[in-house]
Amino acid sequence: MSLILLFLATIIILSLILNKKIKKSRFKRRDQKFNSLAKYFSYCFILWSLLATIIISITPLTIYIKIITITLFYALGFFLLKNLQQKNFNAKKHIEKSGEVVLSITAGIGILITIIITASIFFEAWRFFEKISFFDFIFGLQWNPQMAISEDQSVGQSAFGFIPVFLGTLLIATISMSVAIPLGIMGAVYLTMYAKNSTRDVLKPILEILAGIPTVVYGYFAVTTIGPFLKNLFDLFSIKIASESALNAGFVMGIMIIPFILSLTDDALKAVPQSLKDGALAMGSTKSEMIKKVVLPAATPSIVGAIILGVSRAIGETMIVTMAAGLVANLTFNPLDSVTTATAQIVTLLVGDQEFDSPKTLAAFALALTLFVLTFIFNIVALSVIKSYKKKYS
């Protein structure tokens, strides 16, 4: 660690000395025009030195040879750049090109990681479908992987039906978005269009604190507070509700998603040009009419984007579902029953001492692949809606 700090300090000191020497030499040639400022030669030295340090450090050389090689490169780079500035080397363009390369590499890394994750999920899911019929998985009405493996690790009674898990995921996501969308959008409209600046400065940070609360805390809140409250409430009307219900998990998950939709919707409403608002008011519209007919339609693409983020957050949530909705895959769309979701089952299947090549474990990848495909389709449809609105209001 101390050696790394020494190298960094050396690079900074040499770059400052190079910058000072180039300025001094240019002062003597004030009649000559240069295409790059002196600081860009310092940036080039820093860039070259850092790359050389990283490359030499990972080579299988002894520590002493590495130190000598890095030191020689620093000296070579210093004198080379000092001479290049006399030949009017375009250091500024060199730094700009280097920035483009760095940005393209970072973008490529993100794409590469996505491809690797997708490929790993696909190939593991393919191994699952070699043991379990694809149609039995997609159209099966029973999910109970605990009873699907016999003692000799052969596939016994099929219990890998995706339908109950999908219905549970859809049910909880629907409940959560029924809570988060209206409260998030209406809260954003109030903060943007009606609240005073002093009120907004207090309320918005408080609401956004909800986004920083760990999901396990939400799950504990659902189990200890919301669950008993709902049970007592429905008991008053003699309605039976499970202690771990979809309504319980979906309601708390909706509270968790509110800050995401509220914050993004607030930014979308603030981005609507003031000229559109003033024009609507000048035509005789009331403030509420202006919001309904001008502001909200103009901000719809960004609001839909916020909803997409909220839905993805709801589909991918695990802890709240595990604690508040249970792990029983019931074939039901009743919010008062106990259900499970795909993400909760993925966690359950991958935890424990189960063999990794067993259908029970590989079923987690089949769930992940199916969830990935469904989410991908949903995003395509939602983005097409956003695109059509952007065409209309651009």
Please indicate, yes or no, if residue 213 is contained in any of the structural domains: yes
The reply to whether 141 falls in a domain is no
pLDDT at 184: 92
CB 92 within 8 A of CB 47: no
Tell me, yes or no, whether 159 and 88 share the same domain: no
Residue 33 parent element (H or E): none
* One domain, residues 64 and 168: no
Q: Are residues 62 and 151 in the same domain?
A: no
136 occurs within a structural domain: no
- Look at residues 32, 64, 98 and tell me which one is the last residue of a structural domain: 98
- Picking from 154, 120, 164, the residue whose alpha carbon sits closest to that of residue 326 is 164
- 182 domain residue, yes or no: yes
CB 95 within 8 A of CB 59: no
Do residues 172 and 312 both lie within one domain? yes
Low-confidence residues of the chain, pLDDT below 70? Answer: 1, 26-34, 86, 146-158, 352-355, 389-394
Looking at the domain assignment, is residue 125 inside a domain? Answer: no
Residue reference for tokens 């003031």:
274
Q: Closest Cα to residue 265, out of 188, 212, 197? A: 188
What's the number of domains the chain is made of?
2
Q: Is residue 380 situated within a structural domain?
A: yes
- Per the structure, the complete domain to which residue 22 belongs is given by 2-98
Nearest to 251 by CA among 189, 304, 314: 314
Tokens of 151: 């003692």
Mean per-residue pLDDT over the chain, rounded: 83
The number of beta carbons lying within 10 Å of the beta carbon of residue 324 is: 28
The confidence score (pLDDT) of residue 391 equals: 55
Amino acid at site 336 = L
Q: Which helix (H) or strand (E) holds 388?
A: helix 359-393
Q: Tell me: the pLDDT tens digits for 61-93?
A: 888 888 888 888 888 888 888 777 767 778 888
Query: What span, in angstroms and rounded, lies between the C-alpha atoms of 158 and 156?
Result: 6
Say yes or no: 91 and 167 in one domain: no
The predicted structure's pLDDT at residue 149: 46
Q: Which two tokens stand for residue 388?
A: 């059509």
pLDDT for 176 equals 93
Is the domain of 51 the same as that of 188?
A: no
- Same domain? 236 vs 368: yes
Examine residue 277 and state whether it is found in any structural domain, yes or no: yes
Answer whether residue 118 is part of any domain. no
- 370 and 286 together in one domain: yes
Which of 98, 131, 158 is where one domain is finished?
98
Stated pTM of the model:
0.75
Q: In this predicted structure, what is the pLDDT of residue 392?
A: 56
Q: Is residue 298 within 8 Å of 276, Cβ to Cβ?
A: yes
Separation of alpha carbons 394 and 389, rounded Å: 8
- Residue 94 shares a structural domain with residue 165: no
Amino acid symbol at 2: S
